């Protein structure tokens, strides 16, 4: 089956335009699946094999959400094999996805966001860069890979927008906002050249070594600033993305606009934030209503 996996991954990358991180995730999930199957051809795989694999993952302690993701990956593989004529039947078509508790995304409230942004502020080049990155992330809801991958040419501060390349190599235009524009402008005027140390770079944000920022480096930055801000809950770059979407909806933004800004291909991905806002309303009602 390894040869078919290579063909499928190439199909995802070339024909579907999937991001490299997405292809890598599919590769890991499907390599584990093929290892479980052993030396079978596509026509020899039965629904019982797929069900047995999911049971195997459950026995290893894998969470329902992760097992559902694994099933989604192998469904795509088997659909590809049928469409391309490598086999006649899709053994995964009748297998139901594992049921699990739907976990709502963690978000910061407005007070916590302000504390996080304040913790990064300072006169030094590192502080100015961290402030600019956090302000921009909260103002735009970018994915961390999109944030660290921004080039100078993709940001138009005078017009107040940026262009980013999201999942599936899809470009989208995202407004920035005045506070983020000011923070990024100050970073560009006072800090970036100091961090570059005479080097050249197309990247908007650079490390103290004058090189492009990595996702892991920014992950460490946000954890450090959260600790300084006294935020005890677990926080990641995605937490600010979730907070961006939630706060927009809480303040009256329509779901379709939030979907466009987040770069979600499907509106159902954005609808999770309506659940977050409803949960918040329920908590407020329970806390402040006389009969809550």
Kindly list the catalytic residues.
Answer: 143, 167, 238, 241, 264, 273
Residues 6+ apart with CB under 8 A from 278: none
Rounded Cα distance between 161 and 181, Å, is 9
**Residue 85: other Cβ atoms inside 10 A:** 7
Give me the sheet containing 171-175, strands edge to edge. 155-156, 161-165, 171-175
Distance CA 12, CA 167 (A): 12
Q: Residue 120 pairs with which residues in a beta bridge?
A: none
Position of tokens 């290893």?
60
Q: Are the C-beta atoms of 218 and 144 separated by less than 8 Å?
A: yes
- Rounded Cα gap, residues 143 and 240, in angstroms: 9
Q: What is the DSSP letter of 202?
A: S
216, 243 contact by CB (below 8 A): no
Angle, in degrees to the nearest 10, between helices 2-14 and 20-37: 160
Output the DSSP codes for 120-185. H--SSHHHHHHHHHHHHHHHH---HHHHHT-BGGGEETTTTEEEEE-GGG-EEEEE--HHHHHHHH
């Amino acid at each position: 089956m390894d040869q078919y996996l290579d063909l499928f991954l190439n199909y995802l990358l070339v024909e579907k335009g999937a991001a490299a991180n997405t292809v890598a995730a599919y590769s890991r999930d499907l390599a584990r699946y093929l290892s479980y199957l052993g030396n079978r051809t596509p026509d020899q795989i039965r629904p019982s094999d797929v069900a047995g694999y999911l049971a195997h993952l459950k026995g290893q302690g894998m969470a329902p959400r992760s097992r559902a993701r694994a099933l989604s990956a192998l469904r795509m593989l088997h659909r590809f094999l049928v469409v391309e004529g490598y086999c006649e039947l899709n053994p995964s078509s009748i297998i139901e996805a594992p049921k699990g508790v739907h976990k709502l995304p963690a978000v910061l409230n407005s007070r916590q966001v302000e504390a996080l942004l304040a913790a990064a502020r300072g006169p030094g080049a590192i502080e100015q860069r961290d402030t600019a990155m956090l302000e921009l992330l909260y103002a735009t809801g970018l994915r961390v890979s999109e944030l660290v991958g921004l080039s100078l040419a993709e940001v138009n501060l005078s017009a107040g927008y940026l262009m980013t390349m999201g999942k599936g190599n899809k470009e989208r235009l995202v407004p920035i906002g005045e506070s983020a524009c000011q923070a990024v402008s100050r970073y560009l005027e006072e800090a970036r050249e100091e961090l570059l140390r005479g080097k050249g770079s197309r990247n908007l944000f650079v490390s103290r070594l004058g090189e492009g920022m990595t996702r892991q480096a920014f992950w460490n930055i946000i954890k450090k600033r959260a600790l300084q801000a006294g935020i005890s809950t677990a926080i990641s770059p995605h937490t600010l993305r979730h907070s961006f979407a939630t706060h927009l909806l809480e303040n009256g933004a329509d779901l379709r606009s939030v979907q466009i800004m987040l770069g979600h291909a499907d509106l159902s991905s954005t609808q999770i934030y309506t659940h977050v806002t409803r949960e918040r309303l329920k908590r407020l009602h329970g806390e402040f209503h006389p009969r809550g």
